[in-house]
Amino acid sequence: MVVSSAPGKVYLFGEHAVVYGEPAVPCAIERRARVTVEKRDDDRLRVHAEDLSLDGFTVEYSSESEETPDVNVSESLVAAGVGYIDAAVEQARDAADAPEVGFDITVESKIPLGAGLGSSAAVVCAGIDAATRELGVELTSEEIAERAYRAELEVQDGEASRADTFCSATGGAVRVEGDDCRSIDAPDLPFVIGFDGGAGDTGQLVAGVRALREEYDFAADTVASIGDIVRSGEEALADGDLEELGRLMNFNHGLLEALGVSSRSLDNMVWAARDADALGAKLTGAGGGGCIVALDESDGTETALKFTPGCEAAFRAGLDTDGVRVEEV
């Protein structure tokens, strides 16, 4: 039996613009998904999921079956809970040249599902690492990142980005521009996260930005401006200038709001954080609902968010410099 974990992430800058070749800077956070894998004597998969915003479930099925696992939750939630695990298993089987091996798998996650914090990427990275190790194969973090990207690409019908999986596999702060992914130096970032309990429709939000960009030149200029913010943010990261990072986060949120991907709940949390003297605050991820991220070394933002209408949870989650790793059993 092997237990591996991988971190979630926030976008410091650059979501949506990264789709059009602009750079982005996601950062791993100290919220992890843990995946426990034990080899079976047959080719079946038994998956037990906890804390995946699904109230937990257990299913057992053949990996070759075309039927949906028989479980008492909606088909969409089954797809969300099991699809990424299946894709991770297929990548691990391929890496170990063991196409017919079965596993007992337990997933435990402290990362809200579909909230813009990279829950699926963390589960896939940890799953690939645990399953390959259980089969006697050890992959580098770069190999895990590549295989996790392929897994997400399959599940997301070719629309996946390398950003989430590379960040989850390697940890720390990451610069992503197209297929070019690399780790970058960053100071200890005092992240505070607010969660409205919801999730936006990523496909619909991306399509909305695409339509605006095609119709209006100023929308295309807005996307390019987000890329400029990322480049300025890289300089601030290198200098360890948290105040400048905060100002740039505020700019970034304003541009995302102009592109129509924020929401009332996200804006309420952003302004609550700013009123509590956070250095900066913005939505993270696709938007429409989910999470905001703020920079604040004090307790002010976390306290303010807990009393903000529409905020269901607020927590501190510093920069996690560890990527995917093996945990003690």
Per-residue confidence of the chain (329 residues) as pLDDT tens digits?
999 999 999 999 999 998 898 999 999 999 999 999 999 999 888 888 776 555 555 666 565 555 555 555 555 555 666 788 899 999 999 999 999 899 999 999 888 777 889 888 999 999 999 999 999 999 999 999 999 999 988 887 776 778 899 999 999 999 999 889 999 999 999 999 999 988 778 778 888 999 999 999 999 999 999 999 999 999 999 999 999 999 999 999 999 999 999 999 999 999 999 999 999 999 999 899 899 999 999 999 999 999 999 999 999 999 999 999 999 87
In this structure, the answer to whether residues 83 and 160 fall within a common structural domain is: yes
Q: What is the residue-averaged pLDDT of the chain?
A: 89
> pTM of the entire structure?
0.88
Report the alpha-carbon distance of residue 297 to residue 134 in Å, rounded.
Answer: 40
Domain boundary among 185, 219, 249: 185
For residue 30, the surrounding DSSP H or E stretch is strand 25-39
Domain boundary among 142, 165, 185: 185
In this structure, the answer to whether residues 234 and 179 fall within a common structural domain is: no
In this structure, the answer to whether residues 6 and 115 fall within a common structural domain is: yes
In this structure, the answer to whether residues 13 and 138 fall within a common structural domain is: yes
Report the alpha-carbon distance of residue 290 to residue 178 in Å, rounded.
Answer: 25
In this structure, the answer to whether residues 99 and 202 fall within a common structural domain is: no
In this structure, the answer to whether residues 27 and 173 fall within a common structural domain is: yes
- 254 domain-assigned: yes
In this structure, the answer to whether residues 30 and 118 fall within a common structural domain is: yes
- 66 domain-assigned: yes
In this structure, the answer to whether residues 207 and 171 fall within a common structural domain is: no
Residue 138 maps to which CATH number? 3.30.230.10
- How many domains is the chain partitioned into structurally? 2
Domain boundary among 160, 185, 210: 185
Of 234, 243, 235, the closest CA to residue 277 belongs to 243
In this structure, the answer to whether residues 147 and 161 fall within a common structural domain is: yes
- Exactly one of 86, 94, 104, 164 is catalytic; name it: 164
For residue 292, the enclosing domain spans: 191-316
- 250 domain-assigned: yes
Other C-beta atoms within 10 Å of 78: how many? Answer: 20
pLDDT of residue 162: 87
Q: Are 170 and 141 in contact (CB under 8 A)?
A: yes
Residue 295 maps to which CATH number? 3.30.70.890
Annotated catalytic residue 299: no
In this structure, the answer to whether residues 207 and 226 fall within a common structural domain is: yes
Q: Are 226 and 24 in contact (CB under 8 A)?
A: no
- 173 domain-assigned: yes
- 328 domain-assigned: no
- 321 domain-assigned: no
Tokens of 211: 């339509």
